[in-house]
Amino acid sequence: MNTATIDARHLLCPLPVIRTQDAVADCRPGDHLQVVCTDPGVVHDIPAWCRVHGHEVYAIERSDNEIMIGIQVGEAD
């Protein structure tokens, strides 16, 4: 299992979702992806994108003005 981090700070939705989507395309099932963002909209949009594509959000952590969303990549079909 690999873990990758994506810097999506200062990007506004849907760009963080698009960056996540591009990164997931290079992952294997079970890999972890950590997306670091500043737009509060990501707490809705990234989990929604994960739900429709079958990936699991295992963490949403907020610190000063930053949000980290942890994703476990699902099975490709």
Partner 1 sequence: MTEQRKAVALISGGLDSFLAARTVMDQGVHVEGINFYTGFCVEGHTHAIREKDRARPKRNNALWVAEQLGIRLHIVDIIEEYMDVVINPQHGYGTHLNPCLDCKVFMVNKAREWIVEHDFDFIITGEVVGQRPMSQRKHTMTMVARDSGAGDRLVRPLCAQNLPPTLPEQKGWLERDRMYGFSGRSRRPQMALAAKYGFEDYAQPAGGCCFLTDRQYSIKLEDLWKTRGRREYDLDDIMLLKVGRHLRPRADLKLIVGREEGENRFLEGYRRRFVHMLPASHVGPLVLLDGNTDTNAIELAARLTARFSKGRDAGQVTVEINDRDGNSRMLAVRPMPADEIPADWYL
Residue 9, burial from CB neighbour count under 10 angstroms (0-12, 13-18, 19+) = middle
Q: 31 or 45: whose CB is closer to partner 1?
A: 45
Residue with tokens 């990758």: 4
Amino acid at site 71: I
**Residue 37 annotated among the catalytic residues of the structure:** no
23-52: which residues touch partner 1 (CB under 8 A)? 39-41, 44-45, 48-49, 51-52
How far apart (Å, rounded) are the C-alpha atoms in residues 36 and 7? 5
In the complex, the smallest distance separating the C-beta of residue 23 from partner 1, rounded to whole angstroms, is 13
Q: Where do contacts with partner 1 occur on this chain (CB under 8 A)?
A: 10, 12-15, 17-18, 21, 39-41, 44-45, 48-49, 51-53
Residues marked as catalytic: 13
